[in-house]
Amino acid sequence: MDSTVSLDILPGTVDLLLLKTLSWGPRHGYGVSQWIRQETNGRLGLEDAALYQALHRLERQEVVTSEWGLSDQNRRARFYQLTDKGRRRLTEELSQWHAYAAAVGSLLSATPCGGGEG
Amino acid sequence: MSGFQFPWRSRRMIEGEIEEEFRLHLELRTEELVANGASPESALRQAQEEFGDIDAARRYCRGEDQRHERRRRWRDTSEDVVRDLGYAIRSLWRSPGYTVTSGITLALGLGITVAVFSVVHGILLRPLPYPDQDRIVTLSQVDTRRGSREFVSAANLRDWHDRSTLFSAMAVAEPFSVDLFGDGPPVSLQAWLVSEEWMETLGLRPVLGPGLRPEYFLPGAEPVVMVSYATWLRQFGGDSLIVGRSLTLDGEPVLVAGVLPPTLRYPSVSDLWLPRAFQPGDASARPRNYLRGIAKLRDGVSIEQANGELARISTVLQEEYPRINAGIVAEGKPIVDELLGDVRTDLWVLFGAVILLLLVAVTNVVHLAIARATKQGRDIALRAALGAGRARLIRQASVENLLLVVGSTVAGFGIAHLAIRAMVLWAPADLPRVTEISFDPTVVAAGILAAILTAMTCGLVPAVFSLRSSGSSLLRATPSGGGRRDARFRHGLVALEVAMAVMLLVGAGLLGRSFVALLQQDLGYETEGRLGFTIHVWDKYPDVAQRVQFFRDAVDRLATVPGVESVGAGSALPLSKEGSEIRRPVQVDDELPGDQPAPEVVLTYVTPEYFGVLGIPLQDGRMFQRGENTAVAIVSQEAARQFWPGRSPLGRRISLIGDVTAFTVIGVVGDVRYAGYDDRIAPGLYLSNDQVGFGSMTFTVNSALPTNAILPALQEAMTELNPLIALGGIEEFRSLLGDTVAGRRYVLGLLGGFSVMASLLALLGIYGILNYSVALRTREIGVRMALGAHRRVVTRLVLRQGMGMVLSGLIAGLLGAFAMQRVLASLLFGVSATDPVTYVGLSGLVIVSALVAAWVPATRAAAIDPAITLREE
């Protein structure tokens, strides 16, 4: 926890993260936040405010729906769930992300070649 | 979409949910940190830090949620609408009989209502084209001794004008006719000579030119003329340079001072308007009251105040001119009354009738919709039981009817458009402002309002009704046709239809009987094949002897035209609008009139052929002869009866008051209804024009040839006698006579049409409801018949049910018509508004036709086979 390296998150990545989180089943906002923090050891500098904004935005885009239900500790909480549209979006964005990551990754690990002489 | 819907969320609910969500987050995080060993204060602080800008998040989330909510609402609603519409279209499509019947009924009802409203609006409701129309009055001289309302004389009007203070303008118009000389033969034109303030009173300005300037009314002023808009277009091709041109009127050059607007229609649409100064002769011609007077009240002056002042002035004038003005009181009347007068009752009666018709149509559709809804009752009950909300069921039923009404309204406007054109086309010629009838925005708005009310009635009544009766009972095996209460309600609707139809029928029946009674009146003269035209020769032959000679020659010459059977002439002809009807007080024998006012006669100067051409029979004595040279007179039977009761008028003497000559009565002729069938018979006095030499004579020609065929030959003959004379004011007596009854025929035709339509709708209602009730009671009837009821009993059962509705409706309708008699009375002629023949006859007609309508369902009921019916159940 002490060695927090704050990583500024790339735009659009939050949505993808949320979709991924929700792909395992309905979760409330706190659950999502908790999961991300645990998985990244809190290194991702994602404010909860931004997380909730993204959740509500995704709901407006109808890729997730929300419903009030009871949490594990029997407290009333708002649960978010992927819709069919959300599932499709996740698949799409995942493949885009992987293609992007692969492309950037290959560039970053490349060695210079003699293309200069043409 | 799933069937279950979340309730829509309000803004406050949205805010509350966001608040709750954030609070829970902070609580859970704080708890977690405390569990990990942090102090509560630092835990909360850390949780808040991790959360970030909570206010911005609140605002953002609220915005997103609201946008989402709005979209969801819109989608839900439009999905519902589309679903309801689809349901409605399928449902209407499945029952084409109902759809077509209701659609046509509503379209006709709405269309005709809109058409009649457009007429009422165009004629009665829209303001006149005169600014401050409420302040414009027409002036008349009321003869308080005779109780008659008369036109005014120039001298009287001038005195009212000069002595009154409550009017801002006052003017007279004198009828006139001039011949316009141009390239071809002279054209006879109608004109009004108007005094200085005429246009100011009506508030009209010329569309071209300076108009009638004050100097044109000074003695010795240059003669000028104003051209009416229609004449400007027709006669002068709309020439914008016409102002300042010189026209030749009656052989004299006259300068055109301007063109008047088309809105100038009072006292009548006319060709030319000329200035009329107060002439020296006017003062001595105080008894000559044939001028039209108008005036404009000063701002804020009531008509009662103005009439009070006129009455005071009139009293003074009575003292100043005791002989001429005895009993004469000036009186103003709003110009609207003068222009619209009798038409108002006619149109309001028609409007009332068409509203009744619309109500019958709506009632019929409501009742059809209820019958249909009951048939679908099980379907609706099922859906209600499956959880469809009441509001939703009402909405579905309403959408269906709404669709029907919208369709009918569109069709109705089409019908209205055609109906308006037909009504204008067939309108009587004297219907005022008929050109102003149009399909304008107000009419459309009124039509849409009527359609909305109709839609609400047709949609909500059946929906509420079907819900009320869609209790669980309908889910049981067989619908028994709703409860007793519902049946009563439906029967009440049919009775209501019958009642309204009967009211219309009685109205139309009374008008119809009036019309027949009217046509049976004896006019006292022939009109078939009679043609009239008027000639003025005062200025062409200033001498009496010349005029006498001219008219003698003219009658002789015209009689030789091929096709002419006979010719005669008189200063006025019955029905003719061109002649000069002269009413004059007379003195009979040498009796000096006491307090009684002198009796008044209709005075006509005639040529000897006059009576023969018109077919007015001689009752006693002899006719005029050619060149009659002693002072002789012919009187009508009515004059003989009034002036010499029980004695022979022959050889008696009669003289015009203010005239020294006493005329000896030589003959008695038949009475004449001058203005047509509904005119009262007035005493008539005929003098030979050979003795008088009156210069404006209306000729009448009896010919079997059509007018167009003989007119050129007549004009040619006249040109031979004097090339400067134009045949003016051509009139066909048959059409003149038609015009006199055109208004009645119009109202009768429309009212008759409405009542027939309403009756057919009511019969359809009777038929429909009995048919339907037989269908519902098939099992009951089957059981009865299985238990031994005779077919006749069954028939009677159905007929009795039908007759119950008809009789209660009939009684209500007759009472309603009876209550309306006062409105109708003014439109009737020769028939009482409570005429028993009409009431009894129509009752019989209604009962018989209702029996016919009920017969089909009754025989259908009797044809029920109990075996089949019982097996089916």
Tokens 């029997």 map to which residue? A74
Q: Calculate how close chain B gets to A96, using CA atoms only, in Å.
A: 26
Q: Do A56 and B65 touch (CB under 8 A)?
A: yes
* B19–A contact, CB cutoff 8 A: no
Tokens 């909305």 map to which residue? B452
| Total domain count, chain B | 4
Q: Identify all chain A residues contacting B21, using CB atoms and an 8 Å cutoff.
A: 28-29, 52, 77-78
Within a domain: B731 = no
Q: Calculate how close chain A gets to B40, using CA atoms only, in Å.
A: 18
For residue B58, which amino acid is it? R
Confidence (pLDDT) at B6: 55
Please tell me whether residues B78 and B203 are part of one structural domain.
no
Please tell me which residue of chain A has the smallest CA distance to B25.
Answer: A30
Q: Answer whether residue A11 shows pLDDT above 70.
A: no
Q: Which among A33, A34, A56 has CB closest to B61?
A: A56
Q: Of B724, B757, B779, which one is at a domain's C-terminal end?
A: B724
Confidence (pLDDT) at B863: 83
| Total domain count, chain A | 1
Within a domain: A1 = no
**Most B CBs within 10 Å, among A38, A52, A59, A80, to test the B interface:** A52
Q: Calculate how close chain A gets to B68, using CA atoms only, in Å.
A: 5
Taking alpha carbons only, the member of B59, B69, B68 closest to residue B9 is: B69
For residue B613, give every residue at least 6 positions away whose Cβ sits within 8 Å of its Cβ, in sequence order, or none.
B530, B566, B567, B568, B700, B701, B702
Q: Identify all chain A residues contacting B33, using CB atoms and an 8 Å cutoff.
A: none
* A56–B contact, CB cutoff 8 A: yes
Chain A 73-112, residues with CB within 8 Å of chain B CB atoms: 75-78
B299 secondary structure, DSSP code = T
Q: Do B24 and A57 touch (CB under 8 A)?
A: no
Tokens 């028994």 map to which residue? B480
Q: Is B76 exposed, middle or buried (0-12, 13-18, 19+ CB in 10 A)?
A: middle
Q: Do A49 and B53 touch (CB under 8 A)?
A: yes
Confidence (pLDDT) at B7: 63
Confidence (pLDDT) at B476: 42
Look up the domain containing A30 and give its range: 13-106
Please tell me whether residues B389 and B477 are part of one structural domain.
yes
Taking alpha carbons only, the member of B566, B690, B668 closest to residue B616 is: B668
Confidence (pLDDT) at B22: 94
Q: Which structure tokens are listed for B858? A: 């009754």
Phi/psi at B210 (5° precision): -75, -20
Chain B 211-250, residues with CB within 8 Å of chain A CB atoms: none
Within a domain: A19 = yes
Chain B 61-100, residues with CB within 8 Å of chain A CB atoms: 61, 64-65, 67-68
Q: Which among A48, A56, A68 has CB closest to B52?
A: A48
Within a domain: A4 = no
Q: Calculate how close chain A gets to B39, using CA atoms only, in Å.
A: 17
Q: Identify all chain A residues contacting B68, using CB atoms and an 8 Å cutoff.
A: 59-60, 62
Within a domain: B137 = no
Whether the link from the prior residue into B857 is cis, omega within 30° of 0, is no
Please tell me whether residues B398 and B267 are part of one structural domain.
no
Please tell me whether residues B631 and B759 are part of one structural domain.
no
10-residue mean pLDDT profile of chain B (873 residues): values are 57 92 93 91 91 92 93 87 85 84 89 90 84 91 84 91 94 88 80 91 90 87 91 89 89 90 85 88 81 93 94 93 87 88 84 91 84 69 69 72 86 91 82 79 88 81 65 43 68 89 91 90 91 87 91 94 94 83 81 68 93 94 87 94 91 87 94 89 93 90 91 91 84 87 86 89 84 79 84 87 90 91 83 89 91 87 78 60
Q: Which structure tokens are listed for B258? A: 């301007």
B413 membership: H or E segment, kind and range: helix B390-425
Q: Are strands A76-82 and B582-588 parallel, antiparallel or unpaired?
A: unpaired
B825 membership: H or E segment, kind and range: helix B821-825
Confidence (pLDDT) at B724: 83
**Most A CBs within 10 Å, among B61, B72, B74, B75, to test the A interface:** B61
**How far is Cα B157 from Cα B43, in angstroms, rounded to an integer?**
106
Please tell me whether residues B415 and B510 are part of one structural domain.
yes
Confidence (pLDDT) at B483: 60
Q: Do A76 and B21 touch (CB under 8 A)?
A: no
**How far is Cα B758 from Cα A5, in angstroms, rounded to an integer?**
90
Q: Identify all chain B residues contacting A85, using CB atoms and an 8 Å cutoff.
A: none
Q: Please, what is the Cα angle at B390 between B385 and B395, to 5 degrees? A: 125
SS3 B827: coil
Confidence (pLDDT) at B20: 93
* A4–B contact, CB cutoff 8 A: no
Q: Which among A34, A50, A60 has CB closest to B68?
A: A60
Report whether B691 contacts B666 (CB < 8 A).
no
Instruction: List, in sequence order, every beta strand (DSSP E) within B576-661.
Output: 582-588, 600-606, 618-621, 632-636, 653-656
Within a domain: A34 = yes
Q: Of B35, B66, B94, which one is at a domain's C-terminal end?
A: B94
pLDDT per residue as tens digits for the range A18-62: 999 999 999 999 999 988 888 888 777 788 999 999 999 999 999
Within a domain: B115 = no
Please tell me whether residues B711 and B749 are part of one structural domain.
no
Q: Calculate how close chain A gets to B42, using CA atoms only, in Å.
A: 16
**How far is Cα B120 from Cα A118, in angstroms, rounded to an integer?**
93
Q: Identify all chain A residues contacting B67, using CB atoms and an 8 Å cutoff.
A: 60
For residue A109, which amino acid is it? S
B331 secondary structure, DSSP code = E
- What are the helix and strand counts (H, E) for chain A? 4, 3
**Most A CBs within 10 Å, among B13, B15, B20, B50, to test the A interface:** B50
How many Cβ atoms from other residues are within 10 Å of residue B814's Cβ? 20
Within a domain: B125 = no
Cα–Cα distances (Å) from B475 to B91, B379, B385, B396, B697, in that order, read 20, 9, 9, 19, 87
What length does chain A have? 118
Within a domain: A80 = yes
Please tell me whether residues B286 and B215 are part of one structural domain.
yes
Q: Calculate how close chain A gets to B61, using CA atoms only, in Å.
A: 6
Look up the domain containing B180 and give its range: 145-326
Q: Do A48 and B25 touch (CB under 8 A)?
A: yes
Q: Do A34 and B32 touch (CB under 8 A)?
A: yes
Within a domain: A23 = yes
Please tell me whether residues B482 and B384 are part of one structural domain.
yes
Within a domain: A115 = no
Within a domain: B287 = yes
Please tell me which residue of chain A has the smallest CA distance to B51.
Answer: A48
Within a domain: A8 = no
For residue B629, give every residue at least 6 positions away whose Cβ sits within 8 Å of its Cβ, in sequence order, or none.
B690, B691
Within a domain: B715 = yes
Please tell me whether residues B322 and B404 are part of one structural domain.
no
Tokens 């029928």 map to which residue? B505
Please tell me whether residues B351 and B423 are part of one structural domain.
yes
Please tell me whether residues B672 and B543 are part of one structural domain.
yes
Confidence (pLDDT) at B452: 87
Q: Which among A28, A49, A59 has CB closest to B54?
A: A49
Please tell me which residue of chain B has the smallest CA distance to A63.
Answer: B68
* B22–A contact, CB cutoff 8 A: yes
Mean pLDDT of A64-81: 90
Q: Of B656, B690, B724, which one is at a domain's C-terminal end?
A: B724
Confidence (pLDDT) at A9: 66
Please tell me whether residues B707 and B773 are part of one structural domain.
no
CATH, residue A101: 1.10.10.10
pTM: 0.73
* B50–A contact, CB cutoff 8 A: yes
Q: Which among B24, B51, B64 has CB closest to A47?
A: B51
Specify which residues B226 forms β-bridges with.
B258, B273
